[in-house]
Amino acid sequence: MKLAIIGNSPLALEAALRFHLHGAALTWYQDLLDPALFESPGLEPLAFTSDHGHGILRELNQRYSPENFTWHEWRESYARPLTDYLRAHQEVKADEVVSISKRFLAPGELIPERSRFLDLFRIIFRVNPKDFIELQKDSNPETYQRLTEEFISSLASSIEMYQDYDLVLDLRCDLSRASASVAGRALGEGRRPPKVHNGLEALSLAQGLAASPDERELALVGSDSLAAEILLGLSGWLKDPRSLLFIVTTEEEPFQDFLRSANPLTAEKLKVLLDGIEAELAEEIDIFTRKLREWQELDDFVQAKIPRPSEPIPRVNFFSGHNVTAIDELIDRRRLFLTLERPEFRLGKKHPQNNDLDLKTVGCDRILVAHARKDRSFVAIDPHEPGHFEATPFRPNVAHAWERDLEHLEGIEDEIFKLFSPTDSH
């Protein structure tokens, strides 16, 4: 069987190893995901590995057995040598996938008395022509000699090529851009202001963000596993007492669902951060209460000379049970404004004082949107197309993520072997 695997993750690597050992002719199209962007404390030393991978490493006279898991060690000592091994036996491409479709069948078209599986899948991908030409120098030197300088220089832009496959296994992560509104789209979102960051981009920015006069107020939209990772990434930025964060989520109790499914150390780290924020506010309220009482005990003529103590403002404000319904940008493009609404069928249990108004606007310097999904814009087939299999890897900070990924992959293997006889597999 000829198989295309799409995605760049521990699960995609595992699938490529398995189907290589099953005797498939495969092409692995890698995207640009770097799993190291997830801090994911508490992973087992041998997380994201398998007996297949360790067996191949032994054949290569290499080993991977860390005392403590780090993404760097996993990538350098496990993923890289195994990817190089696959590259020596199969096709491993870093080219951008432009389209996944059937060669001839329209979506929904039926073949009388036959399955749609009769038609092959066609993957169109974009290649850098200079890289392609360099490959010809070694693989096809006679053709390369016939290429004129004028022809080579004419290939200034990328070119598209295609390959056809019996099966497609889509193992991409769900970290692509999605709407700030869980309902589908927020008003004004189509303008894509440059200070709105989604998915993986939001996570990367949060982990490198430093406090500055231009980054005093941020909004984080969402409270799932990606939002938790973004919030942990902002912990350094939050240490500056002038930093102010708005967390907007449809959850009535923010991060409640994630904390139930998170791996224990990540959950503990998030709890410590949230408890620290609450403790800081409680301390400020105690100080304010004491100062207010002292001010109230002053004589009237003294009060007139001394300003009334200012009530503390939470540095992390939750708008729980809320939807983002619009994103606006000032003409000078220095500030962004989120319009938030809470429907009557949802409660806002966290910071209920923010529920007094049905409609509210929050101003900030940047917006980090944790809502993410797979990019299906280039997939022109139904998700249930025979021969097309899809699995979204669990995010690393979810408990038992790797075990659940492998269970899903094993289920896909069983379905594939129903389509092909495994007699020649080894």
Encoded tokens for 303 = 């009060």
Could you tell me if residue 294 is left (phi over 0), alpha (psi between -120 and 50 degrees) or otherwise beta? alpha
Specify the pLDDT at position 154: 60
- The residue ranking higher by pLDDT, 281 or 124, is 124
Specify whether 224 is located in the same domain as 311.
Answer: yes
Q: What pLDDT shows up at residue 47?
A: 92
Residues 208 and 319 in one domain: yes
Whether the pLDDT of residue 148 is over 60: the answer is no
What residues make up the domain containing 311?
177-372
Reading the block at residue 24, the tokens are 């498939």
The CA distance from 59 to 121, in Å, is 34
User: Mean pLDDT, the chain, as a whole number?
Assistant: 88
What percent of the chain shows pLDDT beyond 90? 57
Instruction: Over range 112-140, report the average pLDDT.
Output: 82
If asked whether residues 25 and 42 sit together in one domain, one would say: yes
State the number of CA atoms in the 13 A half-sphere of 53 facing the CB.
Answer: 25
Per-residue model confidence as pLDDT tens digits over 357-370 = 767 999 999 999 99
Is the domain of 304 the same as that of 344? Answer: yes
Q: Are residues 364 and 394 in the same domain?
A: no
Expressed in angstroms, the distance from the first to the final Cα of the chain is 14
Q: Residues 314-347: pLDDT tens digits?
A: 889 999 999 999 999 877 667 899 999 998 899 8
Pair type for strands 96-102 and 121-127:
antiparallel
User: Which residue, 341, 357, 372, sits at the end of a domain?
Assistant: 372
Higher pLDDT, 183 or 2: 2
The secondary structure of residue 67, as a DSSP letter, is: S
In terms of domains, do 190 and 269 share one? yes
Mean pLDDT of 276-281: 88
Q: Are residues 287 and 330 in the same domain?
A: yes
Question: What would the mean pLDDT of 125-132 be, rounded to a whole number?
Answer: 77
Taking the model in full, what pTM does it have? 0.85
Assess whether pLDDT exceeds 70 at residue 352: yes
Higher-confidence position of 151 and 189: 189
- Give the integer Cα–Cα distance in Å for 325 and 370: 16
Does 143 have pLDDT greater than 70?
Answer: no
Q: Which pLDDT score is estimated for 324?
A: 95
- Do 332 and 310 have their domain in common? yes
Which of 372, 392, 408 lies at the terminal end of a domain, its last residue?
372
Provide the domain count of the chain: 2
pLDDT over 80 at 32, yes or no = no
Domain containing residue 46: CATH number? 3.50.50.60
The percentage of residues in the chain with a pLDDT greater than 70, rounded to a whole number, is 91
Name the band, by pLDDT with cuts 50, 70 and 90, for residue 158: confident
pLDDT, tens digit (0-9, with 9 covering 90-100), for 200-238: 899 999 998 988 888 899 999 999 999 999 999 999 999
Query: What is the average per-residue pLDDT within 136-140?
Result: 68
Tell me: do 159 and 34 sit in the same domain: yes
For the cut 50, the answer to whether the pLDDT of residue 297 exceeds it is: yes
Side chain identity, residue 203: L
Residue for token pair 């619009």: 326
Q: For residue 99, is pLDDT > 90? A: yes
Over range 380-406, report the average pLDDT: 92
pLDDT of 36 reads 73
- Is the pLDDT at 391 greater than 90? The verdict is yes
Give the model's pLDDT for residue 425: 46
Note the pLDDT of residue 355. Answer: 80
Q: Are residues 140 and 239 part of one domain?
A: no
Q: How confident is the model at residue 146 (pLDDT cuts 50, 70, 90)?
A: low
pLDDT category at 410 given cuts 50, 70, 90 is very high
Same domain for 280 and 355, yes or no, is yes
Residues 259-285, mean pLDDT to the nearest whole number:
91
Q: Range with the lowest mean pLDDT among 15-19, 322-326, 420-424? A: 420-424
pLDDT beyond 90 at 183: no
What is the distance between the alpha carbons of residues 373 and 96, in angstroms, rounded to a whole number?
A: 18
Same domain, yes or no: 149 and 192: no
DSSP string of 271-331, one letter each residue: HHHHHHHHHHHHHHHHHHHHHHHHHHTS-HHHHTTSPPPPPP--SEEEEET-EEEEEEE-T
133-152: average pLDDT: 65
